[in-house]
């Protein structure tokens, strides 16, 4: 089995996407994967300035926590991003991180599969579409990688609501067990 990096992007305490990412990670571990869970909570991740120096050096000129996360992304076989859906898109902090992973573009990155776990107050099937499209846009810049799957758990609004939803907890665990 491979090395799976799960990145949770919600900054809220008792975030539903964090809770479900934890269950997903447990499923992936039980399936035999080496799993690392990274949260953006408390991380200093600044906006990309668009200088493109990273295309030559494979390092960002900004000195913050994005560089360490980028190294973890580069070394993983499988990536899982977990985000709440805000205004029908991925969280701003997830988009900022994706922008800051630009130094990986010319590198010999290892990841081949990416997955997305989304949560939202709304529960219509169309709710995560723009978040999925956004991640697919990022993946399109990495020709050796592909979007291997996504899981949407809607109908959760307040902090920690997912913990009380056995169906969602089981779906997240099963999704984790099914990672390639």
Domain ranges, ordered by start, for the chain: 3-177
Which structure tokens are listed for 121? 């107050």
H/E stretch holding 83 reads strand 78-84
* Sole residue written with tokens 């990155």: 109
| CATH class of the domain comprising 3-177 | alpha beta
Averaged pLDDT for residues 15-20: 98
Which residues, other chains included, contact 72 with Cβ-Cβ below 8 Å and sequence gap of 6+? 5, 36, 38
Q: Give the C-alpha distances (Å, rounded to integers) separating 50 from 8, 61, 81.
A: 24, 10, 23
Percent of the chain with pLDDT over 70: 100
Residue 115 zone, left/alpha/beta (φ > 0; ψ -120 to 50; rest):
beta
Mean pLDDT score across all residues of the chain: 97
Q: Is the pLDDT of residue 1 over 90?
A: no
pLDDT band at 84 (very low <50, low <70, confident <90, very high): very high
Entry pTM:
0.97
Averaged pLDDT for residues 4-12: 97
Q: Is the pLDDT of residue 124 over 90?
A: yes
**In terms of Cα–Cα distance, which of 149, 180, 150, 152 is closest to 167?**
152
**Cβ pair 118, 20 in contact under 8 A:** no
Averaged pLDDT for residues 34-42: 98
Q: Is the pLDDT of residue 33 over 90?
A: yes
């Amino acid at each position: 089995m491979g090395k799976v990096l799960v990145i949770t992007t919600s900054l809220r305490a008792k975030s539903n996407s964090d809770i479900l990412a934890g269950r997903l990670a447990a499923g992936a571990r039980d399936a035999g994967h080496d799993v690392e869970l990274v949260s953006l909570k408390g991380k200093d991740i600044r906006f990309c300035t668009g200088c493109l120096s990273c295309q030559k050096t494979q390092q960002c000129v900004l000195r913050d926590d994005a560089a360490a996360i980028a190294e973890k992304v580069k070394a993983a076989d499988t990536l899982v991003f977990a985000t709440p859906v805000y205004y029908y898109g991925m969280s701003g902090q997830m988009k900022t991180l994706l922008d800051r992973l630009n130094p990986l573009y010319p590198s010999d990155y290892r990841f081949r599969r990416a997955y997305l776990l989304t949560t939202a107050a709304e529960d219509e099937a169309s709710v995560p579409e723009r978040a999925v499209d956004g991640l697919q846009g990022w993946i399109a810049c990495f020709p050796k990688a592909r979007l291997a799957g996504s899981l949407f758990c809607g109908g959760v609004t307040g902090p920690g609501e997912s913990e009380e939803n056995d169906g969602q907890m089981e779906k997240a665990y099963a999704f984790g067990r099914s990672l390639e």
